[in-house]
């Protein structure tokens, strides 16, 4: 298991659920993904899932913690399965937001594999409207992005709801979807966003069916129902509707 600041980040037994659900919906939402940006993702497991897609030509990974990335590369080979050494990978050790503020590169897909935005954490400014506007500027016309969007248990869903509403303020298509990891001891959700106004679940499923992979969780069957949400989540989106901004993150 990987812990940061005493908090569980990932477990060998079930990390595949998190990473398959984070990566594949975004990549299958694009008609032909060739370039991908990963912000965060120090374990390398997101890289593992991205490189399952045959058309990938370039992956840029930006992580603020070089020591963590090196530890994961050496000590967690079960997560990255050697994909840190893929020649298509361009690894940058720097703040993801600063990278995006200075880069002009356009990507087909962006994966935001981030730690939790606790107060005082550098991750706080990677969940705001201003940051999502940066993300949007780096996406091609049919580009897609997936975001690790926190816990969705009824007592702690407020932040997830605000993240989702913030993304709806920026992107034309936004679809949250739940999943559960035993090591997190709660239900969580990712959020998919697309620049493609014609995005549809049926098209995503057709692409998954045409490209069989040796996945352990994500599948056409999972995709068919992944966007079905319980009423309490819809209620939360109406209740916790304040947009997250650089100035007003926890207020």
What pLDDT does 177 receive?
98
pTM, two decimal places: 0.95
- Burial label for 49, CB within 10 Å (0-12, 13-18, 19+), is buried
pLDDT band, very low/low/confident/very high, at 114 (cuts 50, 70, 90): very high
Higher pLDDT, 7 or 122: 7
Residues 6+ apart with CB under 8 A from 227: 175, 176, 177, 201
Summarize the confidence of residues 84-92 as an average pLDDT: 96
CA distance 60 to 87: 11
Summarize the confidence of residues 12-29 as an average pLDDT: 96
pLDDT band, very low/low/confident/very high, at 250 (cuts 50, 70, 90): low
Spot the catalytic one: 63, 108, 113, 188. Answer: 113
Residue 199 has pLDDT above 80, yes or no: yes
Residue 108 has pLDDT above 70, yes or no: yes
Higher pLDDT, 24 or 214: 24
pLDDT band, very low/low/confident/very high, at 121 (cuts 50, 70, 90): confident
What pLDDT does 25 receive?
98
Summarize the confidence of residues 188-215 as an average pLDDT: 96
* Annotation says 90 is catalytic: no
Summarize the confidence of residues 222-250 as an average pLDDT: 93
pLDDT band, very low/low/confident/very high, at 59 (cuts 50, 70, 90): very high
What pLDDT does 249 receive?
62
What are the b/e assignments for 105-138, b being 16+ CB within 10 Å?
eebbbbbbbbbbbeeeeebbbbbbbebbebbbeb
Higher pLDDT, 186 or 250: 186
The region of weakest confidence among 6-15, 22-31, 50-59, 227-236 is 6-15
C-alpha 154, offset from chain centre: 22
For 240, the token pair is: 């916790």
What pLDDT does 4 receive?
84
CA dihedral 218, 219, 223, 225 (to 10 degrees): -100
Summarize the confidence of residues 27-55 as an average pLDDT: 96
Place of tokens 């963590």: 68
Q: What is the secondary structure of the chain as a DSSP string?
A: -EEETTEEEE-TTTHHHHHHHHHHHHHHTSSS--EEEEEE-TTSHHHHHHTTSTT--EEEEEES-HHHHHHHHHH-HHHHTTGGG-TTEEEEES-HHHHHHH----EEEEEEE-----TT-GGGGGSSHHHHHHHHHTEEEEEEEEEEEEE-SGGG-HHHHHHHHHHHTT-SEEEEEEEEEGGGTEEEEEEEEES-TT--HHHHHHHHHHS----SS--HHHHHHTT---HHHHHHHHHS-PPP-SS-S--
**Domains of the chain: residue spans and CATH:** 13-239 (3.40.50.150)
What pLDDT does 5 receive?
82
Cβ atoms within 10 Å of 4's Cβ, excluding its own = 14
Among residues 197, 38, 204, the alpha carbon closest in space to that of 109 is found at 38
Residue 14 has pLDDT above 60, yes or no: yes
Residue 7 has pLDDT above 90, yes or no: no
CA distance 227 to 26: 13
């Amino acid at each position: 298991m990987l812990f940061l600041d005493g908090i569980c980040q990932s477990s060998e037994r079930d990390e595949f659920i998190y990473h398959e659900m984070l990566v594949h919906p975004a990549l299958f939402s694009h008609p032909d993904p060739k370039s991908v940006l990963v912000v965060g993702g120090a374990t390398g497991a997101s890289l593992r899932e991205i490189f399952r897609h045959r058309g990938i030509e370039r992956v840029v990974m930006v992580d603020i913690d070089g020591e963590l990335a090196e530890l994961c590369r050496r000590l967690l080979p079960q997560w990255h399965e050697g994909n840190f050494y893929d020649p298509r990978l361009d690894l940058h050790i720097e703040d993801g937001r600063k990278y995006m503020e200075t880069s002009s590169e356009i990507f087909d897909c962006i994966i935001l594999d981030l730690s939790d935005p606790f107060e005082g954490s550098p991750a706080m400014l990677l969940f705001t409207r201003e940051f999502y506007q940066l993300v949007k500027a780096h996406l091609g016309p049919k580009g897609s992005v997936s975001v690790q969007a926190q816990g969705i248990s009824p007592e702690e869903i407020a932040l997830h709801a605000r993240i989702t509403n913030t993304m709806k303020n920026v992107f034309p298509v936004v679809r949250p979807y739940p999943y559960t990891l035993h090591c997190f001891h709660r239900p969580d959700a990712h959020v998919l966003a697309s620049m493609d106004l014609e995005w549809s679940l049926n098209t995503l499923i057709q692409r998954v069916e045409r490209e069989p992979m040796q996945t352990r969780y994500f599948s056409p069957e999972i995709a068919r129902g992944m966007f079905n949400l319980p009423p309490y989540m819809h209620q939360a989106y109406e209740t916790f509707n304040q947009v997250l901004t650089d100035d007003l993150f926890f207020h």
